[in-house]
Chains A and B, each alone.
Chain A
Amino acid sequence: MSQVIQIFMSGLAEGCIYALVALGFVLIYKATEMVNFAQGDLMMLGAFVGYFLIVGLGANYWIALVGAVVIMAVFSYALDVFVLRRVIGQPQFAVVMLTIGLGFVFRAAASMIWGANPLAFVTPFTDGTTSIGGAPIPDVSLSIVAGTAVLCGLLFALFQYTPVGVAMQAASQNQLAAYYMGIPVKRIFALIWAISGGVAAVAGILLAPLTLIDTSIGFLGLKAFAAAVLGGFGSIPGALAGGIAIGLIEQFSGVYLMDGFKDIAAYVVLLLVLFVRPQGLFGAAARKRV
């Protein structure tokens, strides 16, 4: 029993990271119909910025967390204003190539600044454990789960109860009508990019104590992408559920199934689900996109 709890918690933690990256995919896709393949690399940059603030500047962990979120949010806002906004209306493959290319640039820049060796920083959760149902659970896992929950709560409140959040939903649902209402659609979209960047920074900093930070951690974005598709690309609850589902499936299949299955489990499940429900778990069969 205690082993099951341990596997469950590590799957849940891993899944929360996927969920946060998937959330970034979905937020941007809903608003601009762009698929940002650099989302995982934004997470990577967020982790490095956190490293820089904590190890380089000696900042307190919580201050560094907030600082990295702000820095990545500003960076992503600028990315939209100066780069991505210009390709809106271009064919989808151009956008895909651009974001894939940005991923390469980010990885190259990170290795130039921080080198190719894996790095680590100490967090309040490193090395601690808490007993749950008799199973010792690493505090790092708990911090990831709690951090994800808090962040989702904040985002929910933002989207549901603040005028700018409702305007983000509005502009995502019907861009033209938002223009007619005098909603500054371009700025709203840049703010959505900023949120995605901030979420990526949180994911990177939460993930850092679990793995070492290096330029390749962004590749977990591929699994997060699978998670977003699983949830029905375009559904925020779907992205969260898809991420957690994939994290859990991976951990359990890693323990109970043959070697090697862990790495493909996410994709096997994705294919099976798409056979049965092509629109994904949470996707509506036919959505109106304007």
Chain B
Amino acid sequence: MREPLLRLSNVETFYGPIRAIRGVSLDVHQGTIVAVLGANGAGKTTILKTISGVMDPLKGAVVFEGREIQGEDPDRIARAGIAHVPEGRETFPYLTVRQNLLMGAYARRDRAAVPGDLEMVYGYIPRLRDLSQRVAGSMSGGEQQMLAIGRALMSRPRLLLLDEPSLGLSPRLVGEVFELIRRLNGETGLTILVVEQNAGTALATCHFGFVLELGRIVMEDTCENLMAKDDIKEFYLGMKDEGVREGRRWKRRKTWR
């Protein structure tokens, strides 16, 4: 099999004394959508932060395009081709949409290509063109999520990291966001690593999935197979029992074994 675009091997990341990631290994292959599923506090965000260099792992290696990148500064990793759409969107509230998008291209060296990529982003997310002079903080959650994705695309990434893009969005908007993810992957071949609690939508979109529990990978398979598994179904049932997904909390404790 080909070398994966991204490989984590035995990564351990700490918050002070707290070991949030306990030896995670996962591969992301070129041109695929990979999902990492897990409940609150499973360590999903920490994995993405470790990849994009916002946090440094204490042990293990992060290999991107054959090169070890763990411990490097985030701006170097961004330039190396990894873009991170953080949890909670994290737009620049007092900058306009256009300025926010341009910030996504800040670390780039090939400035000449930026205007063309701005058009590419407007092409994929036409609403951003209409809102281009609006201040980001005044937009709705869904618009800000689209902006955060557009901003990440402005760095022309070869790997896009998405942290819970469905968070706080209505089902219709969740559908729109994942439709965008599918199109970006299908039309440009962009490799996408998405972490989600919304397992249903994520599994319907991804090619390969990992299930994370308390900082460990407890299951990995193609998304098709994962969807067929009993405990995953139970996970869905859990969702259905509670009706609307209340904010971001699962009421019931989830187990995966």
Which of B74-82, B124-132, B232-240, B243-251 lies at the interface? B74-82
Contact partner of B106 among A174, A181, A290, CB < 8 A? A181
Q: Residues of A contacting B93 with CB < 8 Å?
A: 173-174, 288
Is there a chain A Cβ closer than 8 Å to B24's Cβ? no
Q: Which of B30-38, B62-70, B95-103, B184-192 contacts A (4 or more CB under 8 A)?
A: B95-103
Please tell me if the beta carbons of A180 and B95 are within 8 angstroms of each other in the complex: no
Please name the residue on chain B nearest to A160 by beta carbon: B99
- Judged by DSSP, the binding face of A is helix
Q: List A contacts of B107 (CB < 8 A).
A: 181-184
Enumerate chain A residues within 8 angstroms of B54, measured Cβ to Cβ.
176, 179-180
Instruction: Evaluate contact between B90 and A173: CB separation under 8 angstroms.
Output: no
For B256, the chain A residues whose CB sits under 8 A away are none
In whole angstroms, how far apart are the Cα atoms of A183 and B74 in the complex? 8
Cβ contacts under 8 Å, B103 to chain A: 166-167, 170, 178, 181, 183
A186 CB to nearest B CB, Å: 9
Q: Contact at A182–B90, with CB atoms within 8 Å? A: no
- Which B residues touch A183, using CB under 8 A? 75, 103, 106-107
A177 at the interface (CB under 8 A from B): yes
Q: Interface code B78-114, partner A: CB below 8 Å = 1, 0 otherwise?
A: 1100001010001111110001101110110000000
Q: Once the chains bind, are B74 and A179 in contact (CB under 8 Å)? A: yes
Are B99 and A181 in contact, with the CB atoms below 8 A?
Answer: no
- B197 close to A (CB within 8 Å): no
Q: Indicate if B23 sits at the interface (CB-CB under 8 A).
A: no
Q: Which of B75, B102, B137, B155 is the most central at the interface, judged by chain A CB atoms within 10 Å of its CB?
A: B75
Cβ-defined contact, B78 with A177, below 8 A: no
Whether a CB of chain A sits under 8 angstroms from the CB of B151 is: yes
Cβ of B13 < 8 Å from any Cβ of A?
no
Contact of A163 among B52, B90, B92, B102 (CB under 8 A): B102
A169 within 8 A of B: yes
Chain A residues with CB under 8 Å of B76's CB are: 182
* Chain B positions within 8 Å of A173 at CB level: 92-95
Check A182 against B78 for contact (C-beta < 8 Å): yes
| With contact pairs A166-B95, A170-B103, A182-B74 given, residues A176 and B90 touching in the complex (Cβ less than 8 Å) | yes
Minimum CB–CB distance for B88 against chain A, Å? 9
A-B contact count, CB below 8 Å? 70
Q: With both chains docked as a complex, state the minimum distance between the C-beta of A129 and any C-beta of chain B, in angstroms.
A: 43
Per-residue B-contact encoding for A271-290, CB less than 8 Å = 1, 0 else: 00000000000000000101
Q: Among B75, B77, B86, B102, which residue has its beta carbon within 8 angstroms of that of A176?
A: B86
Q: With A and B bound together, what is the CA distance between A288 and B107 in angstroms?
A: 25
Bound together, the chains give a CA A170 to CA B92 distance in angstroms of 6
Q: Could you say which of B73, B74, B91 contacts A174, with CB atoms under 8 Å apart? A: B91
What is the distance, in angstroms, from B138's C-beta to the closest C-beta of chain A?
A: 12
CB A122 to nearest CB in B, in angstroms, measures 43
Give which listed residue, A169, A176, A184, contacts B95 with CB less than 8 A. Answer: A169
CB distance from A142 to the nearest CB of B (A): 34
A163 cross-chain contacts in B, Cβ below 8 A: 102, 106
Complex CA gap A180/B86 in Å reads: 7
Q: Can you list, as one digit per residue, whether each of A62-79 has a CB less than 8 Å from chain B (1) or not (0)? A: 000000000000000000
A residues in contact with B73, CB < 8 Å: 184
Residues from chain A with a CB closer than 8 A to the CB of B52 are: 180
Of all chain A residues, the one with the shortest Cβ separation from B111 is A163
Q: In whole angstroms, what is the CA distance A184 to B84 when docked?
A: 15
Contact partners of A176 in chain B: CB under 8 A: 54, 86, 90
**A257 to B104 alpha-carbon distance, docked (Å):** 55
- A289 to B30 Cα, complex, angstroms: 38
* A288 in contact with B137 given A181-B107, A183-B75 (CB within 8 Å): yes
Instruction: Check A184 against B75 for contact (C-beta < 8 Å).
Output: yes
Interchain CB contact under 8 A, B92 and A177: yes
A169 to B86, CA, bound (A): 19
Residues of A with C-beta under 8 A to B86: 176-177, 180
Chain A residue nearest to B108 (CB atoms) is A182
In Å, the complex CA distance between A184 and B74 comes to 8
Residues of A within 8 A of B155 (CB): 181-182
Q: Which 4 pairs across A and B sit closest by C-beta, in order of nearness? A: A182-B78, A182-B107, A177-B90, A182-B75
Query: Which residues of B approach A to under 8 Å, CB–CB?
Result: 52, 54, 73-79, 84, 86, 90-95, 99-100, 102-104, 106-107, 137, 151, 155
Query: What are 27 sample pairs from A and B whose C-beta atoms fall under 8 A apart?
Result: A163-B102, A166-B99, A166-B103, A169-B92, A170-B92, A173-B92, A173-B94, A173-B95, A174-B91, A174-B92, A176-B54, A176-B86, A176-B90, A177-B86, A177-B91, A178-B103, A179-B74, A180-B84, A182-B74, A182-B75, A182-B76, A182-B79, A183-B75, A183-B106, A184-B73, A184-B107, A288-B93
- Can you add 9 more A-B contacts, CB < 8 Å, to A169-B94, A170-B99, A174-B90? A166-B99, A166-B102, A173-B92, A173-B93, A174-B93, A181-B107, A182-B74, A182-B76, A182-B155
